[in-house]
A and B are shown apart, each in its own frame.
Chain A
């Protein structure tokens, strides 16, 4: 049975789309049939980050409305086997997403894919709820910064009240904390919340850390998921995240300053 995973955060600009692209690519590299869906209707961007913006013909809303079929809308990645993208509509109103329509598409995708990654729009409105509603698991993307942490807590509240699993009293959505744009040096100097701080506050299971990295912008500039950049520290961190998600035990690599390494314990 396919797993539906929502990548969400509440706050915008924290790295949801980067994470969706990198995580889906990582799963596909492991050989899993993976599809990543852009739920940001009206502000589609996953296609750009994945580098397939010129191949979009039909989109998610077209499929819901029966104007095109799913096979016409799914874009097969040219670099990674087993990886597909379902783009959002750029022209429609976000209300075009309906629970019934989303369910219909997800049910069809479930038969063909092992992982369905839902890239949520920012905010706590309709689009964000549509993205999380049918999820089995959730990756909560958080920056070590006050507004992002607070918004993540709001989203965690919604995951446990506004989703199918909550409404139908099914087992709760499995939550995973992903701290992105992390700068260990600033943590050591005391000017950035540490990953432990963020975890203390949000109190959900930890999945990984993605360091602040130049390579993330370089990757999106070129339309290449950062996990395909073998030299990128962020790309490696995402591969670790995928491994940990799949149940492998990996140590958390958090670059330490010279002094901390010297004096710790």
Chain B
């Protein structure tokens, strides 16, 4: 380690390091979405799910949340439906 680097480590994190960390996270996330073919039919899936659920209970558009996470080889489709007390 050069002397300069040693002194750098003693100082609080600089903004460039913060930028790099934030970018690595968001870029990785966006690449996962991009590489997933599922993403294309997601909005339609969400709409159709809403229609099915509405046959049984009243829910708002924002009560359904759908998300895709990629974890190595696997893709996880996460579906969250919030049923409020009045709905039941």
Contacts and interface: CB of A to CB of B under 8 A. Distances in A.
A263 B23 contact: no
A259 B4 CA distance: 8
Closest A-B pairs by Cβ, 7 of them: A190-B14, A263-B4, A197-B20, A263-B3, A157-B34, A153-B27, A201-B23
Given A190-B8, A193-B19, A193-B20, 17 more contacts: A146-B23, A150-B30, A154-B30, A187-B16, A189-B14, A190-B16, A190-B17, A191-B14, A191-B15, A194-B16, A197-B19, A197-B20, A201-B24, A201-B27, A259-B4, A260-B4, A264-B2
Interface residues of B, number: 19
Interface string B1-42: 011100010010011110110111011001100100000000
Interface string A184-218: 00010111111001001110000000000000000
A128 interface: no
Interface string A52-86: 00000000000000000000000000000000000
Interface of A: 145-146, 149-150, 153-154, 157, 161, 187, 189-194, 197, 200-202, 259-260, 263-265
A203 to B, nearest CB: 9
Contacts of B20: 193, 197, 200-201
15 contacts: A145-B19, A149-B23, A150-B26, A153-B27, A153-B30, A154-B30, A190-B15, A191-B14, A193-B20, A194-B16, A201-B24, A202-B27, A263-B2, A263-B3, A263-B4
Contacts of A200: 20, 24
Interface secondary structure of B, over-half rule: helix
A73 to B, nearest CB: 37
Interface of B: 2-4, 8, 11, 14-17, 19-20, 22-24, 26-27, 30-31, 34
Contacts of A191: 14-16
Nearest to A264: B2
Nearest to A194: B16
Contacts of A202: 27
Nearest to B27: A153
A150 B2 contact: no
A265 B22 CA distance: 28
B16 A264 contact: no
Contact of B4 (A153, A194, A264): A264
Nearest to A190: B14
A192 B17 CA distance: 9
Q: Which of A187, A197, A200 has the most CB of B within 10 A?
A: A197
A146 B27 contact: no
Contacts of A201: 20, 23-24, 27
A265 B19 CA distance: 25
A64 to B, nearest CB: 31
B22 A146 contact: yes
